[in-house]
A and B are shown apart, each in its own frame.
Chain A
Amino acid sequence: MQLSKLRLGLALSLAALFSWGCGGGEPSTVAMKTPPPDAKRVDESVAGIVGGRVTYEGAVPENAPINLESDPACVRQNPNGLKLDTFLVNNGGLDNVFVYVKDGLGNYYFDAPATPVTLDQKGCNYSPHVFGVRTGQSLEIVNSDPTLHNVNAMAHVNQSFNLAQAIQGMKNAKVFTAPEVMVRIKCDVHSWMTAYAGVLSHPYFAVTASGGTFELKNLPAGTYTIEAWHEKLGTQAQSVTLAAKETKNISFSFKVTAP
């Protein structure tokens, strides 16, 4: 009797320890939030567009080559080697810049999309390197590599997590619940692998591609703060006033500042 009580106590203590240690993970789905009573919906028939380009001034820094030798599977997948994609400049335009509406949307309300955003680990690299995801939207994380990865999301506002993906083809879904620009995601197995997620409660964001271009569609008339974020070059912001059905072009220009 005494022994069985002892065993029960031990089992409960261990269960408590493990639930404490393993708890805190984000649920894979969250209940749909109900909009507040004064929430407004965007009338797309009178909405406008803010587009433009992010450029880079000066000599483009060389992206550092990656030493893949710590994992033979990564060497096999990249016979020509791999470089960091920190500075991607095409015709003066800077790619992998996250451009988004930082402020000015007031009480507009947006439902979270039902389709997930996919973050793939392929060729021992993250694809995409920079991306946006909505609060409440599912982030599907896939391991397409024939090697192990861990997915360490180092959030400050949202719940951080660290997933083990030991098998090729493995998938996990995660949901961020609060806006946060940016959440750094890294693989501690392959120290060069880093991705950045911009988590927003609205759809007005874009990642520059094809020579630094971006477009924020269906934006209602108003005055907004638009911010551009780059992983090494920091942020720039500007104010834009948009009329109904108007299309406005803006530009950002980054350069390496002296250390």
Chain B
Amino acid sequence: MITLHRFIKFVVASTVLLIAAGGMVTSTDSGLAVPDWPNTYGQFMFSFPLEKMVGGIFYEHGHRMIASTVGFLTIILAVWTWKADPRRWVRWLGVTALGAVILQGLLGGITVLLLLPAPVSIGHAGLAQLFFCLTISLALVTSPGWTKAQTAVDDPTLRCVAVATTAMVYFQIILGATMRHIEAGMAIPDFPFAFGHLVPPFWNAGVAVHFAHRVGAILVTAAILATAGHVWFHHRTRRELVRPATLLALLVMTQVTLGAFVIWSGLQPIINTAHVVNGALVLATSLVLTLRSYRCGFSEVTAAPAARARREVAARERATALSRRERDARTAALGGGDPSAVGLVGPREHQEKLTSKPRTSSVLH
């Protein structure tokens, strides 16, 4: 199982490289440098000579070669997961990743043959992120930290904000892809202002999409800081949550900075690509945090103990409330006042009474 997990991490790293290669294709405007598909200038893709990988062909053909490698690795991933993982849903997750990478390859080919129509190219960009999310999910659920977890946080508020944040990040990435494929990257040429104003003084489709991406950046940053703040405040002892939350906050700050430099550099390809790759990392980190927030009730194996743990916590709370009523009655008999003032309630119980803390469920895997 640990070997499978390491292999999936390798697939994740390869996918990051693939996203970077795709970013370079669009950033250097090389998407049509190889007009045919699946062949390359009439030759079988894998026998195309290296010395002919010149100019835009280097980026486009290189992207195809890396994509083919990732596709091959995903076949191994799906078969291996199917054979090695006892969990049915994980096995199907591997198969879904394989289906996604095949569809992604077809979309890539179709967009070249149809001369990069924006909807197909945006779909290609969007599916790339979904495939990346699938590999990230597989890497997470096959990790020792997931499979050997003893306890998991059961916090409905965290689940809610984490899911909303991940969805917002994905939508923001789709907006960015739309901006890129309708060539609106410089539709607003200045930053932080828009034509010297807070709001653009005139509008067209490119300006609207570009400005929506900027507004989206503000909303996503706020959502990420809210999620990270919730984790820091309520779950500061949970390393598996604090680490992705902190990383998420750092990555979104990096992303905003890169976005600014994309404009200031006039769409410099390497900065542009770094923005794309970092955006994918923001999505992946947000997804990891979200999945960990759902850890307590994620599978058949963990759901029952988690539910049992919740019942145990509820029973303890009922018992605490009962004893508190008894103590209150005794305090009233002694002449009233705050029970904690006469030492009948401990500081921890007193704090519990004052704040409604999110719970931690014990999980027996």
Contacts and interface: CB of A to CB of B under 8 A. Distances in A.
Chains A and B come from one and the same complex:
yes
Interface of A: 21-22, 24, 70-73, 147-148, 150, 152, 160-164, 166, 188-191
Contacts of B34: 150, 164
A164 B36 contact: yes
A69 to B, nearest CB: 10
A73 B54 contact: yes
B109 A188 contact: no
A56 to B, nearest CB: 26
B47 to A, nearest CB: 13
Given A72-B54, A164-B42, A188 B115 contact: no
A152 B52 CA distance: 19
Interface residues of B, number: 25
B52 A148 contact: yes
B113 interface: yes
A148 B35 contact: no
Contacts of B114: 21, 24
A150 B54 contact: no
9 contacts: A24-B114, A147-B54, A150-B32, A161-B115, A166-B41, A166-B52, A188-B29, A189-B33, A189-B56
B104 to A, nearest CB: 16
Contacts of A166: 41-43, 52
A150 B58 CA distance: 13
Contacts of A71: 54-55
Contacts, number: 63
Interface string B86-119: 0000000000000000000000011001110000
Contact of B35 (A24, A70, A72, A164): A164
Q: Which 8 A-B pairs have the closest CB atoms?
A: A21-B113, A188-B33, A71-B54, A166-B41, A189-B55, A162-B35, A164-B35, A70-B55
B28 interface: yes
A24 B34 CA distance: 17
B30 interface: yes
B8 interface: no
Given A162-B35, A188-B32, A190-B56, 14 more contacts: A21-B109, A21-B113, A24-B114, A71-B54, A148-B52, A160-B115, A161-B115, A164-B34, A164-B35, A164-B41, A188-B29, A190-B55, A191-B28, A191-B55
Interface string B39-66: 0011100000000101111101000000
B110 A21 contact: yes
Contacts of A164: 34-36, 41-42
B31 interface: yes
A163 B56 CA distance: 14
Nearest to B58: A70
Contacts of B35: 150, 152, 162-164
Nearest to B109: A21
A190 B113 CA distance: 19
- Which of A148, A163, A188 gathers most chain B CB within 10 Å? A188
Contacts of A163: 35
B58 A188 contact: no
